[in-house]
A and B are shown apart, each in its own frame.
Chain A
Amino acid sequence: MEGNLVNVLIYGLVNSAVLMLTSLGFSLTFGLSGVANFAHGGLYLFTGYITWMFLHYLGLPFLPAALFSIVIVGLIGTVIYRLILMPVRGIVLSEVIATFAVGVAILEFFRWRGFVTYEFNLPSFVKGSITIAGVNVDYQRLFIIAIGIGLAVFLWIFSHYTKTGLALRGMAQDEYTALSLGIESDWAAGLSMALGSALAAVAALAILPLGLISINIGYDVLLVALAVTVLGGLESTVGLMVASLLLGYAVIITGTYLSPHWMEVVYLAAIVLGLAIKPSGLFGKFKELEERV
């Protein structure tokens, strides 16, 4: 029982970091440009597969392959914005449908090409594991925690202390005022899409080594990102962290003490209850009035 508790504590933390990393990109794009990038899961998995291809077809070492993938996925994010989102900008429904369709197209394309067998996995950064308080944790999971915290801090500094970050946040807060100060709307949104996609790529590179790459991960990732973002509220790094911790521990606790069947229920219930009870999220400030009638 005691070992179980420590297990829950540690793996809950790992899971929280996984959730935060997964939803960081989605939340960033949504918060900065209001685009709900439903292709998030597709891009996440796309990263996994192209990195795998770089490693196995081109024989690149891991680091360049990973960097290439991040850059490529970031570029794809921009391209999606330019080609698909720009013509329908502002029509929320069309944005959602278009990006969701892109995501599904990517995922099902890989399914069609037969990328579903056991050979598809990514190498972890460093092999091996360490024992903390009697619980075995491999290095990859520690890396995930470190990367999660590092990225969150980096993004916070980026969005609060750099010119570009401030411009993006200005755009999110009041588009017209930002325009009048010479911040270009499409540039900002395109950049936020690129950043969000690149973050999805980073998350994929860190998290995918934990298991096999399978198509359904793409759909799960989208679900997780939605749950965390809805619960945490937009435009709030603290909200994102708290929501990740809440959900991360909730999921591990249900998985350990109830049954693994209920784990996905937690995410879905978080979305439903979060929206029904507090639509602006735990820490959302801005959109509170607009969302309600």
Chain B
Amino acid sequence: MAKMAYRKERVDRGIKARTDDIFALSSFREILYLVLPRLLVILFLLPLPLFLGTYWQKVMLITLVIALLALSWDLLASVGLVSLGQALFFGVGGYLAGFLSTRWGWYPLFTIPAATLAGAVFCTLLLYPALRLRGIYFGLITFALPLLFMRVIEATKILGGTEGLSSLPPLPGTTIELYILLVVALGCVFGFRRMFDTDYGLVLKALRDNDRSVEAGGINVQWYKAQAVFLAALPATFAGAFLTHHYQFVGMPAFALDYSILPLTSVVLGGAGSFAGAVLGACILVPLSEVLRAFGTLRVVIYSVVLVIFVVGLPEGIFHYLQRKYHQFERLVPMEEVSNGARAGFKGY
């Protein structure tokens, strides 16, 4: 008698028809199966700003800002452009908003959209010559650019120099700000996810997987990458412009390394390529770093270590892990040794 051993078997739930995102739905229960996780998140997040105290409202604000930057990073990475400097978009958006309101006295209602669009166009033009670079080389150029801007502003003393631009017009209160950010962030998550399921998104994904074959397909790689950079810059420049008006200040810290590392860490933690993972990562990381604030700079050490552990240990990220668990069920199936199993099969019936 062979000892019975069991192994885990993972089976996709029957609802998945063919690929990861095509489902055959035949009942309300199945619709619910798909809608419920999304709905739960939205229903959890929407009333949240009303229940939080002033301090945690601020934390949520920063969380959403980092989530927007992470979304932007994720979109860029989905096209194969790995950015090491989200602070570039953030700072450009922030400084443009600050400039528009100090120079011409525009209201935030106008500066934020204007800075978002103009910032995205500016960043796209700026990065356009670098789009042919691959992998780490693109990363290096994005790593250097925000630092370069920071130094240039320091050296030339334009845009307020080291002092920055202060006493900008405020936004109408944290709760409303949170709702605006929340709507934008959720809109980006679902919008980007939707976009990547269209034919246009297919081209973008193909750029990451094999840009040469895309080029062979008669598609202008450079032009599509530029579009992707523009789209990716939008949430980040928006975040920059928004936070500028929230703090009523913009200065050199807008180009700081924090705004590059935190979004990156968020995506690595949450899982790249799904957009939801980026937000999930930010929602874990930023509150965590607030809790760890008492440790001073040790918290930077802590999240560096978290980053290493996740990059090496769970490279797919939390979101993909959860998604897999949700879409598959596991069961134990008996496992016999191969030789015994073969013999048992003949005798058994």
Contact = CB atoms under 8 A, between A and B. Distances in A.
Contacts of B295: 112
Contacts of B300: 104-105, 108
Interface stretch (A157-165, A205-213, A263-271): A263-271
A92 B152 contact: no
B19 interface: no
Given A108-B300, A290-B134, A226 B155 contact: no
Contact of B129 (A84, A92, A276): A276
Contacts of A264: 147, 151
Interface stretch (A95-103, A174-182, A193-201): A95-103
Contact of A275 (B77, B137, B268): B137
B130 A98 contact: no
B202 interface: no
Per DSSP, chain A at the interface is: helix
Nearest to B135: A92
B145 interface: yes
B311 interface: yes
Interface string B122-141: 00000001101111110111
B154 A261 contact: yes
B279 interface: no
Interface residues of B, number: 45
Contacts of B154: 261
Contacts of B304: 101-102, 104-105, 108
A271 B215 CA distance: 28
B305 interface: yes
Range class of the A interface residue count: 35 or more
Given A104-B304, A271-B141, A276-B129, A265 B155 contact: yes
Contacts of A265: 148, 151-152, 155
B212 interface: yes
Contact of B140 (A97, A104, A230, A261): A230
B14 to A, nearest CB: 33
A88 B315 contact: yes
A223 interface: yes
B298 A275 contact: no
Given A88-B315, A291-B134, 6 more contacts: A87-B312, A94-B315, A96-B139, A111-B297, A268-B148, A268-B151
Q: Which 7 A-B pairs have the closest CB atoms?
A: A261-B155, A268-B148, A105-B304, A108-B300, A271-B144, A101-B304, A101-B307
Interface of A: 36, 83-84, 87-88, 91-94, 96-98, 101-102, 104-105, 108-109, 111-112, 219, 223, 226, 230, 259, 261-262, 264-265, 268-269, 271-272, 275-276, 279, 290-293
